[in-house]
Amino acid sequence: MRNYVIVTDSCSDMGKEYREKYNVEYVKMIYHYDGKEYPADLDWEVHGSAKGFYDVMRNGSRIMTAQITLAMYKEAFEKWLKEGKDIIYLACSSALSASIKASIQAGKELMEQYPESKIICVDSLMACSGLFLMCKHLSKMRAEGATIEEAHKWIEENKLNIHQTCCVADLKYLKQAGRVSAGSAFFGGLFQVKPILISDALGRNFAIEKVKGRKQSIDRLVERMKTEYRPEVFPDVIVAHADCIEDAEYLKAQVMEKIGVKEEDITMNFIGPIVGATVGPGTMSLYYYGTEVTDNKE
């Protein structure tokens, strides 16, 4: 069996500590603002910290994101092929980025050049720390001797069991990204109405319900998790936040108290620059394995 590398992208929000721990690689996306372009680095090298990135948004700059190009994929993938490794790439949801199409084309072209190699590109139907959870589980499978085909099979059979529930602090960032109307953002802000966003069965960020108030919206994330969580498959939970650590600690405490998740099974994480550019500072999200996501399933 050939060795294989697990690869994801900037949407995974896997910082260096976790990439090294689970032996996961990533391909960088791009973002730009104020006329300059930057790599979507998951270690915050551009701004020094997550706070530095989100302060750019707080200070009024609008951050735009861009997908990974065919050339960028080919350059990244070929490096691992030259090392004699196959590749399984977990891409950001096709509903959120067209990058998956470029990755598939890059894989096709490179496998013609390296006919002994295998490149599997997976539409994860997920973003942010949901990709992190998938990569973590594949890393465990690989360590236990799973083949690249077995890893691929698991992802395809289980990707709709990875849940993302999310609440934002300010609707203006979703408005800027075209995800809500100006009227909805205005009245939502006026009356402190917060949408609960999930990743639906088509990989889209979907507003499943609305809750009034910040604390109530965070509590609602826990209530939803309580009905969906399946720790018997794997108990790992990620609490991710866009530079709002106090709210993240509150959410973590509620997950432990109300659901009984052990502290060692919870990873605290930042929402990275790609998703963060859309949802904005103050966003909170939960990721876990649970019952199959069927919202909007065709």
CA distances from 214 to 86, 168, 217, 243, 285 (A): 45, 8, 5, 15, 13
pLDDT of residue 127: 86
What is the amino acid identity at position 92?
C
User: Which residue stretches of the chain have pLDDT < 70?
Assistant: 175-192, 297-298
Angstrom CA distances, 167 to 15, 40, 88, 146, 278, stand at: 22, 23, 31, 36, 12
Note the pLDDT of residue 292.
96
In degrees, rounded to 5, the angle at the alpha carbon of residue 285 between the alpha carbons of residues 174 and 297 is: 75
- pLDDT for 62 equals 93
Phi-psi region for residue 124, left (φ > 0), alpha (ψ -120 to 50) or beta?
A: alpha
Q: Report the chain's terminal Cα–Cα distance, integer Å.
A: 37
The Cα–Cα gap between 238 and 13 comes to 11
Quote the pLDDT of residue 212.
Answer: 85
Sketch the domain layout of the chain as residue ranges.
4-159, 161-289
pLDDT of residue 171: 74
- The order of strands in the sheet holding 4-9 is 24-27, 4-9, 86-91, 119-123
Distance CA 101, CA 69 (A): 9
Res 183: pLDDT: 32
Give me the pLDDT at residue 182, please.
Answer: 37
Q: Which CATH code of 3.30.1180.10, 1.20.120.160, 3.90.79.10, 3.40.220.10 fits the domain covering 161-289?
A: 3.30.1180.10
Q: What fold, for 4-159? A: Rossmann fold (3.40.50)
Q: Tens of pLDDT along 119-168?
A: 999 999 998 999 999 999 999 999 999 999 999 999 999 999 999 999 99
Q: Give me 203's structure tokens.
A: 């990989």
